[in-house]
Structure formats: C-alpha cells, structure tokens
Chain A
Amino acid sequence: MSAASEPSNEFFAIRYGLSGTDLDRVLTRALGRPVDYADLYFEHTESESVSLEESMVKRASKSVSQGVGVRATAGEKTGYAYSDEITLERLADAATTARAIAEGAGAAVPARVGPPRPLARNLYPVEKHAGEIPLGEKIGLLEGIDRIARAQDPRIRNVIASFSCSKKRFLLATSEGVVVEDTQPLVRLNVACIAQDGDNRQSGSYGGGGRTGFDFILGDRAFEFYAREAARQAILNLSAVDAPAGTMDVVLGPGWPGILLHEAVGHGLEGDFNRKGTSAFSGRLGQKVASDLCTVVDDGTIPGRRGSINVDDEGTPSARTVLIEKGVLRTYLQDRLNARLMKMPLTGNGRRESYGHHPMPRMTNTFMLAGGDDPEEIVRSVNKGLYAVAFGGGQVDITNGKFVFSASEAYLIENGRVTAPVKGATLIGNGPDVLTRVSRVGGDLKLDPGIGTCGKDGQSVPVGVGLPTIRIDGMTVGGTRP
C-alpha cells in the first residue's frame, strides 16, 4: 500500500472513531486560556523483525504500537501527556494534564481542525511495504547471507544476521489548524560475523537500509555485499595490531565516518541547547568554527534515506539547511518551540521517537559537501597517522564540546602509505575546534549505508551521515601504544 493511496486522516478516523469535531474539542481543552500552542499526535506503527544465528532463523517477531500524545506549550513551558488508549476520554484527560503546566503568558486561540494538508512530495513512495513480504522470503534472505559470509573464510565461526522493518503512520493536528499525515517506511539489514583463530576472537559487522521496500535489499544484491563486508572486517581484525596512542594526523574515509560531524558539530547546533546557552556553540552564529574547506548541511529531503522525512513531527516540511558554510556557522537546527523563542526560522527538524515523546530539534541526514582533493593523494600527504574507514558509535558532551567516536576498522599510515590494520580505538576531540583542523577534503562524498540511530534525552530517531575523505591535522587517538 503506498502512502498516496491513503490520502486523508481516514485511517485514524475509521480506526479510532474520532471526528474532526472531536479533535477540535480536545485541542480547545488543551489550549485553555494561557496556552499558546497545542498539538495531537496519533501514531500507529507496525514492526517486524527476523534474525538468524548459528545458521538458523531462530526468531521472528511482530509488534503493533499505537497511541496518542497531547502537547500544550506556553512560553518556555511544555506539558506532554500520552496514552496508548486512543479514546476521547483518555484524550480529554491527557489534554487536561498537558495544559496543567500553563501558568502565565499567552492568549487562547480557537482550535479548528480541517482536512489533512496534502504532502508536497513523497520522498519514500513504496509499492509494497516490507512487512507485506512473506516471512519465508526474509528467512531465505538471511540463510543466503549466512552461506555467503561463511564461505568467505573457514575462520568465520558465527554469523548473526537480522532484518527488521516498520511502517509508521502518524496524524498530527495542531491548534494552528495544521493537519498532516505521513506514512514512513523503514527497513534495515544487519550482518555481524565472529571470526576465531586459536583463542583470538574478533568481530565485524555491516548493515544498511532506508525508507524503502524490501526490494532495496535485493537490488544490486546489496545483501551479498553486506555479508562479504562483515566477514572481511572480522577476518581483518584477526591480524590487527594494537592501536597507537597520542596526537597524530587522521584521515577519515568517506561515508559512515561522517558520524564525526554528527557528534562534533551536529548536536551542538541543535536549537534547544543554544537557546539555553548550554552548547559550546552558543552565541557563535556568523563565527568561524571550521576551516574554509568545510561546508556542512543537514538535509531531510534526500529520497529514500534513513534520516529523511516528508514533514517533521510538528508538520514542518523537511529542508536542506546549511549549518556551516565555508567554515562559518550559519544556522541552528530548530523545532517550533525553540525557533519561536529564539525568533529564528523553522528548519523542519522537530522530531520525536514516537507518540510517547515530545518533539526536540534533531538531525536528519548530516554531511559535509565534497571538496576538490584526490582521496589517494590525501592519504599520501600524511607521514605518520591513522586512516579510519569504519566506526561504531559516538557521543558528545554538548556543554564542553568534547566528543568521541570509536573506529571499528582503521589502519596505520606510514610515510604516506596505508599499512597495518589496528585494533579499535576511540578518537577524541573538541567540537568547535576539530573542523578548523580539516586541511584536505576529497571529491568523494558518500552517504552512509543507512544504519544510524541517534539518541538524545532518551529518544531514538533514525538519522543519516555522510563525508568525503578528509584529513584532520592533529587529533587524539586513544590506543594503547604510547
């Protein structure tokens, strides 16, 4: 079923027996006198996951999550109530709770709920949702991956592969009369391999996905590539040497190493932290925060990407926002509350994990634009350093700007040549400083394969990152070999 074939709020109206007049009434109750904005967020999400391990598809599961969140805001205050019971009675209770916060300024606005506004575009039209594909096909896929990964090397001892997909529908009705509905598909395939040689045990993993159907996994036989990559990385790590420790030049490969941008600058540019003055980037708009070579954008409009959204969870269409332009800080990422309080434009970054969460400024797909350098030449330019091509997770302390991200595949660079693979090491730096050290930017911008999940304040949302090959002069590498 494509999103376009369900154009109205019929799905929610029929399923929960709620009319536009009912919604009007609840919004009006949530608004009360001192409240200046209220919204209702109805969600119905179906998810499925299948996993293989020890060459057996041991687990399959399906879940349905539904509920409604009611939000009322007044000045800087937010009241949020949610329930997984979608009934008028619970809605009215939730609206009363949400508005309990409001004491003080604001004027009542009459609520009027109209028909949903048609979406200007659909970034993720899907002929058939992955959840509608028979389970047998997914089982076959995972069994195929298991065979391919094991065939790479006899030292591959276990393969853990999983496929998961979801279809999230939401309907948002706001006190300003905005009504939007969207259906967001999401698929993800992950492969992890355990390699063993004597008592040396190592792992490798690869995955990908996006807002697509099941065909994405089969197209270009992506799944074969994932299986081979996971096996290759696990085998490679069997021969990895201890990582160096200390400050050295670092070359990051294209694609997923873009997690650097997400941690080093992305979070620090979210509107909430900057409104509160708690970010290391607070008050720095218009200032130089990166080298001239760096232009960083957040773009929620790329078709089919994991981090893309037609509209954010407050009804604002997603956008392409230039965060850093030739090294100069241009914009913060905003949701409604923070844009209003900071008197800044909306950027379409008001996202929430589910009906159980209030919106916050969040990234979508965050990447650096390509430069003019030849990636091979960038590596050759380093005398002694680290070349990192794959990473695990990262984290940042917004307030002091310190961030880390951990390499899962990295090599030494010696005299301009990539040499021995090294064990995973954490790289640490300072957000407002690290991009000023970018001295080369390659022409090979790549987006990650579709694996990112960003956590903030207990909420997880799917995101994307991207990077061309770059060189950073002097970064701390947290290995064990001083």
Chain B
Amino acid sequence: MTFDMNRAHDLLARAKRLGASAADLLFAEGEAFTASVRLGRTEKIKDAREKVVGLRIFAGRRQAMSATSDLAEASLDGLVEDTLAMARVTADDPDAGLPEREEFRLDLPDLGLWEPEPVGLTLDRRIDLARETEAAALSSDARLTNSDGADFGSSSSRILFANSHGFRGEYAGATYGLSVAPIAAENGSMQRDHWYSVKRRFALLDSPESIGKEAARRTLRRLGARRVGTQRVPVVFDPEVSAGLIGHVAGAASGYAVYKGASFLVDRLGETIAAPGVTIVDDGTIPAGLGSKPFDGEGLPTRRTVVVENGVLKSWLLDTYSARKLSLKSTGNATRGPADAPTVSPTNFYLEAGTASPEEIVREIPDGFYVTELIGFGVNLVNGDYSRGAVGLWISGGEIAFPVEEVTIAGNLREMLGAITRIGNDLVFRGRIAAPTIRIDGLTVAGA
C-alpha cells in the first residue's frame, strides 16, 4: 500500500472534520540492506522494508499521538478517530500546539542527502567490500586471529511531513557504511576493537584497506592492557570519545532537560560554562551531513545554532514546545518518532577544531591517560556527575607507554567543560556528533 501527499492531506482533512483543532502527520519509509562476512565467509544478509505513519492530533491545547505500519485505509481512518478521542482526555496544556504558521518555509534547500543506488552495487560486490575490509584488518598482524566480522550496509529513507497549517515537505536520504571488528590474542587474553566509515555517498566511503588497517591498529595497541593505580592525571580524549562527551552537552542543552530542571546547565544561559576556546555548534544544514535535514520533526527549517561560543553558553537546543516553556523560539531541533510527540535532538553537533595536533597534546603530558573507549552509562545530566569505564593508553614523559583497561574516569561535567585545556586540530565528521582530540585536567582515574 503506498502513501503520498494526497493521502496525508485526506487524513488531516478527516481529523479536522471530526473536530480536531490542528494535526500533523509524518510518513517514513525505509529500505536497508546489510551484508556481513566473518573470517572470509558470508555470515548474514539482511533486507529490510519499513513504512510507518505517525499522527499527532490536537483538541484545543490537548494532544495525543499514534503510529501504525498498517496503511490500509480503514485502519488509518480508525486511527484518526482513536487519536482524537485520546487527545480529548489528556491535560489542557497552555504551551501545546503546532508552531506558528509564519515559522514554516516552503522553499526547502536540497542538502544532497540522497543519491540513486550506485550502478554495480550487486549483492556480490557488497559481500566483497565487507570481505576485503576484514581481510585488510586480519592480514595486518599474525596476532589478529579472530573476528567479530565485517559489515557493508546501505539504507535509504523517505520522509513526508504535512500539517494543518498547510505545510508540506518531503525529503529522501541515503547512507552507506563499512565496518570491521577484528580480535587479537596474545598470552591467552583477547582484545577487540573496530573501525568504520559512514557516508551519504557511496563514493566517499573510506577504502576497505584503510578501514581494515585502522581497525587492526586500534585492536593491536590494546594487547597487554593492565590496570593503573588510582590517581588524578590529565586525560586526553581521542576524537571518538570526545564526540561522546560533546554529546552530553547536547543532552544538557536540550530545552526539555532545561525546563524540567533536569540539566546541570539550568540557569546558566549567557554564562561561561566551558574553557575559553570551546565553541560548540549545531548545524542541520551541512551539505550531505549525516545529521542534516531540510526541516525538523515539526516541519520547521533547520539552521546553524551556536550553542557555546568561546566558553559562553549562547543557546539551548529547542523545539516549539520546549521553547514556549522557556519563552524562546524553536531552534529547529525537533525530532519525532512516529508515535511520539516531538522532542529535541542535535542535528550535526560539533566542537570546533583548535590548533594543536594530537601528537603535541600528548607530548605536553608527563603522566596522563589517553582514552580511546568509554563504556557504561555513568553520566548524570541532572547534576553533571560523570563516572565511566575506560580503555586507553598510558602517557609517560609525553610518550604513549602501555595500554590500560579496567579503570574508570570520574569527575563532574560542570568542572570538566571548564578544564578543557587543549583542543586538537583533528575535527572529522564521522557521525552526527563530532569533536577533535581534547585534553581535560582534574579527572580521577580509579584502578588498582
């Protein structure tokens, strides 16, 4: 069963006819294909097709949502009635409602998020790409004896959005990804790491050779890891883990966390919250960006928002509802799961590059910890407490000395942001959230 703007229009009209005061509708359709190889042999192929309609209906300032993958006409018609009935019993919320009519834009930019499937990307070619990537990793060193496999994945999706203010928008996106997770063994213990590349253009993917070699390097350097004693030392975050740290800023700057009082950044707008030189930007308009989209989960245009400028907190990330709660305007950061009300998420969110090379940053440290992986959920955005399992390399006399594991790093995000004493020049967008190498002083490493 297909779904198009005409059916969207009919459903919105039906909602109005039944007494809804406003409504919006999301249709998402996607296809994804993954080929997995392990130890040179095809292990799994997966082919996915999904469609879903999400509906939000207002009865005055009361709202309810629904979603279904059953696109039969009778089911969708019934859904409109059920959703309106639910909306009528929820709370009368003075801030609920669609964005203002004049906030929408109909001339949406083409951000280059989609390309037609490349010619010649057959099942065999996909399997070969995964196989070549794994082979490049495993052939690097005799200690790479096992593998969690290599994947080649592609996906394409189409989003259609319409609301009772007359906004109509549609866009498509594609992604391609290649990854591998080799396993190295030495003296009876094993280590695993991985490397990957994800792009919106097939031709821009890193080569199987470079992905495999980098995965091998990251895995091999973990062999022989040990614990270190409990101490306070400078900690260097490699770009993979510093991106995660910057992601916590996005969470704490979300309008929802702020108005609920559930963020360590509450009341800090306009104040210095990070070290000088720390500039953090959200930009949904980067051409072919993995987090780019022409309009957000409420149909509002995405934009570039400076969240932190030279250490000063300049803006929250907002959708219409959280903006109204804070007497502000949306920043175009609404995201919308089909059955959920909009909430806030970053688009492309990054820490601007500094000037130091990663090597210089390490060289300045007499004794420190270079972190390459963090595990666990020990991050509390309400009070900023931070305590996570860490893996990495010990720095001694400005040089990488030996691998470290089974330790934690702990501090508080409020102080950590202020203690970013070096920012690397190595910013690369490998995902929606990106950051260069950074150094943070004053963290506690807990171990033996």
Q: Do A and B bind each other?
A: yes
**3 A-B pairs with the lowest CB-CB distances in the bound complex, closest first:** A478-B408, A404-B376, A56-B91
**Those of A63-91 within 8 Å (CB) of chain B:** 63-67, 76-85, 90
Tell me the complex Cα distance, A39–B183, Å: 32
CB closest residue in chain A, given B64: A60
Tell me the complex Cα distance, A399–B219, Å: 11
Residue B189 at the A interface, CB < 8 A? yes
Pick from B86, B123, B387: contact of A100, CB under 8 Å: B123
Mark each residue of chain B from 172 to 214: 1 if its CB lies under 8 Å from any CB of chain A, else 0: 0000000000010000011110000000000000000000000
Task: List, sorted by A's number, 13 A–B pairs whose CB atoms are closer than 8 Å.
Answer: A59-B341, A60-B90, A62-B64, A63-B339, A82-B49, A136-B89, A201-B266, A237-B383, A246-B447, A394-B376, A406-B377, A477-B446, A478-B410
CB closest residue in chain A, given B341: A59
Shortest CB-to-CB span from B200 to chain A, Å, is 20
Task: Tell whether, in the assembled complex, residue A395 and residue B389 are in contact, meaning their CB atoms are under 8 Å apart.
Answer: yes
Task: Tell whether, in the assembled complex, residue A64 and residue B67 are in contact, meaning their CB atoms are under 8 Å apart.
Answer: yes
Residue A33 at the B interface, CB < 8 A? no
Residue A199 at the B interface, CB < 8 A? yes
CB closest residue in chain A, given B56: A61
Task: Tell whether, in the assembled complex, residue A393 and residue B376 are in contact, meaning their CB atoms are under 8 Å apart.
Answer: yes
Which stretch, B38-46, B98-106, B290-298, touches the partner chain A? Answer: B38-46
CB closest residue in chain A, given B219: A399
Residue A343 at the B interface, CB < 8 A? no
Residue B138 at the A interface, CB < 8 A? no
Residue A8 at the B interface, CB < 8 A? no
Residues of B within 8 A of A94 (CB): 47
Shortest CB-to-CB span from B185 to chain A, Å, is 9
Tell me the complex Cα distance, A62–B63, Å: 12
Residues of A within 8 A of B231 (CB): 482
Residue B368 at the A interface, CB < 8 A? no
Task: Tell whether, in the assembled complex, residue B44 and residue A424 are in contact, meaning their CB atoms are under 8 Å apart.
Answer: no
Shortest CB-to-CB span from B268 to chain A, Å, is 10
Task: Tell whether, in the assembled complex, residue B192 and residue A278 are in contact, meaning their CB atoms are under 8 Å apart.
Answer: yes
**Those of B21-79 within 8 Å (CB) of chain A:** 38, 41-52, 63-70, 75
CB closest residue in chain B, given A394: B376
CB closest residue in chain B, given A139: B89
Q: Is the interface of A mostly helix, strand, loop or mixed?
A: strand
Residue A479 at the B interface, CB < 8 A? yes
Tell me the complex Cα distance, A157–B266, Å: 13
Tell me the complex Cα distance, A428–B43, Å: 33
Residue A247 at the B interface, CB < 8 A? yes
Task: Tell whether, in the assembled complex, residue A61 and residue B340 are in contact, meaning their CB atoms are under 8 Å apart.
Answer: yes
Residue B261 at the A interface, CB < 8 A? yes
Residue A123 at the B interface, CB < 8 A? no
Pick from A97, A404, A479: contact of B375, CB under 8 Å: A404
Residue B146 at the A interface, CB < 8 A? yes
CB closest residue in chain B, given A45: B69
Q: Given A76-B43, A100-B45, A402-B405, A59 and B90 touching (CB < 8 A)?
A: yes
Residues of B within 8 A of A135 (CB): 86, 89
Mark each residue of chain A from 84 to 108: 1 if its CB lies under 8 Å from any CB of chain B, else 0: 1100001000100110110100000
Task: Tell whether, in the assembled complex, residue A63 and residue B338 are in contact, meaning their CB atoms are under 8 Å apart.
Answer: yes
**Those of B371-392 within 8 Å (CB) of chain A:** 375-378, 380, 382-383, 385, 387-389, 391
Residue A196 at the B interface, CB < 8 A? yes
Shortest CB-to-CB span from B295 to chain A, Å, is 22
Task: Tell whether, in the assembled complex, residue B389 and residue A77 are in contact, meaning their CB atoms are under 8 Å apart.
Answer: no
Q: Given A194-B382, A358-B46, A399 and B192 touching (CB < 8 A)?
A: yes
Tell me the complex Cα distance, A417–B6, Å: 69
Residue B448 at the A interface, CB < 8 A? yes
Task: Tell whether, in the assembled complex, residue B42 and residue A478 are in contact, meaning their CB atoms are under 8 Å apart.
Answer: no
Tell me the complex Cα distance, A166–B447, Å: 43
Tell me the complex Cα distance, A245–B387, Å: 10
Shortest CB-to-CB span from A376 to chain B, Å, is 28
Task: Tell whether, in the assembled complex, residue B46 and residue A61 are in contact, meaning their CB atoms are under 8 Å apart.
Answer: no
Pick from B43, B93, B261, B447: contact of A56, CB under 8 Å: B93
Residue B82 at the A interface, CB < 8 A? yes
Residues of A within 8 A of B338 (CB): 63
Residues of B within 8 A of A47 (CB): 339
Q: Given A60-B64, A83-B49, A246 and B378 touching (CB < 8 A)?
A: no
Mark each residue of chain A from 403 to 434: 1 if its CB lies under 8 Å from any CB of chain B, else 0: 11110000000000000000111101110000
Task: Tell whether, in the assembled complex, residue A203 and residue B63 are in contact, meaning their CB atoms are under 8 Å apart.
Answer: no
Residues of B within 8 A of A59 (CB): 63-65, 90, 340-341
Given contacts A56-B93, A426-B376, 7 further A-B contacts (CB under 8 A): A59-B64, A97-B47, A246-B448, A276-B146, A394-B376, A399-B183, A478-B410
Residues of B within 8 A of A280 (CB): 190
Tell me the complex Cα distance, A307–B104, Å: 46
Pick from B51, B83, B260: contact of A194, CB under 8 Å: B260
Residue B249 at the A interface, CB < 8 A? no
